[in-house]
Chain A
Amino acid sequence: MEFKQGDRVRIEKNGTVYEGKVMPSMEGYVALKMKSGYNAGFSVDEVRITLLESEEREKDANKAGVKECKPRAEEAASRSGKLPKVAILSTGGTIASKIDYRTGAVSSQFTADDILTAIPELKEIADFKGRVISSILSENMDQESWQNLAKAVVEEIKAGAEGIIVTHGTDTMMYSAAALSFMIDTPVPIVFVGSQRSADRPSSDNAMNAICAACVAVSDIAEVSVVMHGTTSDEYCEIHRAAKVRKMHSSRRDAFKSVNSLPIGTVDYETREIKTLIDYTKRGEKTLQFKPGMESKCAIVKFIPGADPAVLEHYINAGYRGLVIEGTGLGHVSTKWIPNIQKAVAAKIPIIITTQCLNGRVCDRVYDTGRDILKAGAIEGEDTLPETSLVKLMWVLGQTDDFETALKMLKSNLSGEVTACTLG
């Protein structure tokens, strides 16, 4: 029997009859969506299948059909002119995900306009313009994606956006946000937002996160920030500084935490009120500058007990231009690694020491090993997260080829990634 996905068919199995629409099926089975809405699979070899109606005919019969949800390059949402202008840049991810009726899978094919339709409250906060940058899962992003995103953000600011919202997959959001915070000096808020529960479910955190992000986008917090749930409840969102934030849980709504810093502030979901907790850069304080250079040949190396120093040698020989070491405790590696650190520095490869404790500051002046690491030429990453240190390293090496200048830049606080006093 000839039939394809979307057709309505009748299946007979040992005298039992099921009718429904053919869904994406696994090898050897035909999956049926029955009138009750349930799907079930039947072994192709054991059933008789009769075509009732082909998908095309049914589509003709039902003109309304199914909404197309292909991403469009640019969409214009209504502009009333009274509310602040905010651009939503969509890069894919769970906040922008939707069920594909054909495959039943959650896909990222959801545009900025769809977000506005799904979350009508947004229209009370700002006058939105939507723009699709990409529709990829965040684990597939790379340095070029960061640059493209940054470029689009800068274009929108130049075009008059008073705030930017970037919807992003949560897995690598902290990297992209940190990258933009190094690349762009921004006079307006640039807010990253995502969701930990897909947008198809009634309990999704997408609506609250997006609404809170919009509040931040029209606020005077002119920084690159990440706005996500503050607790497991739909109570408030936290506004995290891009250079201090880390995804600290694989699945919870409140996965994002500021490390070694308080969040910039919170947004109450009910009242939409923003409370700030630390100093921040205000709207208009900086003039727009864009320095997109990025060196992608950098890596994080995690030291573990007994790790072979040849690991470092591999990166040196493979032409890596900078390395971040996640050391133990205050920032240590075994004494066997020290000659290779020396070797790297001699080859003008900056080495930044961070701690795998994440919380707390690196201090290589307490124990002999630490002092030897510094003597070998490595730089302390202070209380910067290893991932932020890596992005910083990539950006610095994208800005200068001079080793000494690079070291100087790496030692300074460029985007709030280093705090003066460690949070108690």
Chain B
Amino acid sequence: MKPFEYLRAADRGTARRDAAMPAAAYIAGGTNLLDLMKLEVMQPERLVDINRLDMKSVETTGEGGLRIGALVTNSDLAAHETVIADYPLLSRALLAGASGQLRNKATTGGNLLQRTRCYYFYDTAMACNKRDPGSGCAAIGGATRLHAILGASAQCIATHPSDMAVAMLALDAEVEIEEESGETRRIPLREFHTLPGDTPHIETVLPQGALITAVHLPAPAGGTQIYRKVRDRASYAFALVSIAARVTLEDGKIAQVALAFGGVAHKPWRDPEVEKALIGKAPSRALFDTAADILLADARGQGDNDFKIPLVRRTLRAVLTEATGGAG
């Protein structure tokens, strides 16, 4: 581990100022960052500890939604009464992630910034454009069972590991940030994470030094909510594929639908065309397969992960069948 300077921020202004210095990083739960520092995958010279900042509350907003402080732990958020009642897929996604001990430490803001679990990113003996821009991607042509089938580039085929972010994407969440200047603004989660392109080391649109202060959920949209995580081990494993679904039926037809996908891309994936194809239609296996065709039109396997393409199709069929009461 590279030696680093540790600063404990007493207020948000100090935190932003300290984090604006070169090679600085915020630390909250540290469940991912500390591992990466020990392996020298990440080598911040300065850690700004934000755990004492007042960002630990969950509040109802004037719009009838929820404002989740960036330091609310995954455990607390999963157990929050309003979340369980009005956003059940978020609670389920959180509980599907990591282990009890990790969820007690991991925070809402930190979870959005989790790094990929790509083996090649973790092994500093391997070329990785995400860890070391310009060094290449050893994963391509290597062991790719866990890698992306959508939106990958010739520079990076990694996936985003978060369950929480997939659920929040299906819930139309917004990320509240404070810029270095102190200005506050909200970024829709669907615009927050980026595709790898030629800059896989850049994973979000978060400006340097900016602080995630909260996540906003809009007023509850109701519907049947499902979070389905598919993995080889029954617990404490990252998703091969996951789907967050919110479906409302009216008169036997799909009136509203939101579908977000995990384990398939560099970011939590949502495709408006898929949802458009479902709205106003009566659920059927053929309809679900049409939705899958649209979703997977540009899907491309790397060899080991080819199975993810049929797996997404099959999981979507399972989720939509369950959400619509057995039409599949």
Whether chains A and B associate is no
Q: Residues on A close to B: CB < 8 A? A: none
Q: Residues on B close to A: CB < 8 A? A: none
